Amino acid sequence: MNLQTFKSYLDKGIGLLVACLLTALCLIAMWQVFTRYILNDPSTYTEELLRYIMIWMGFLGAVCCFSSQRHLALTLLESKLNIRLRVKLNTLHHVIIMVSIFFVMILGGWQFMLEGMGQRSSTLGIPMGWIHAIIPLSGVLIILLEIINIISNCQGKNAHD
């Protein structure tokens, strides 16, 4: 299996997970409205669960942006460079992102997740560390995708083109 096929499977898996979370979000929100306005007995866990699903969707959405290289970037300088310098600038850009993601999301997120294992969510009663686990998980996925992007960039396959 080549790198692009692996990336395609990874993108499809993340997309499927986001689609499942979005479906769950819609169904749980409808259940919340139904129990509140039809049964006059609001469900106690739905608001908290919806909040956690939104957090996971936000982080997985960031992973999707890094996969397609559609995240915020200043491309003014890039467009003025020749191909060889553009590849070097893009590689530097990806390396800076990976270093930042490693320290902030993986190391910091891991510590945050471990600290959260001692706390329980107020309504669901699950360890908050499981909710926070999306931070280092998405960091690992972003770094993996950035490595693939660097390799693709060096091979002349740029997602911006």
Q: In the chain, what are the domain boundaries?
A: 3-154
The two tokens of residue 58 are 């936000």
Q: Single out the residue of 13, 42, 15, 14 nearest to residue 28, CA to CA.
A: 42
- At 22, the amino acid letter reads L
Residue 157 has pLDDT above 80, yes or no: no
State the Cα–Cα distance between residues 49 and 21, nearest whole angstrom: 11
Overall pTM > 0.95: no
Query: What is the tens place of the pLDDT at every residue in 122-135?
Result: 999 999 999 999 99
126 dihedral zone (left: phi>0; alpha: psi -120 to 50; beta)? beta
State the Cα–Cα distance between residues 46 and 134, nearest whole angstrom: 20
Whats the size of the chain, residue-wise?
161
> What pLDDT shows up at residue 158?
58
Query: What is the tens place of the pLDDT at every residue in 37-81?
Result: 999 998 889 999 999 999 999 999 999 998 888 776 667 777 788
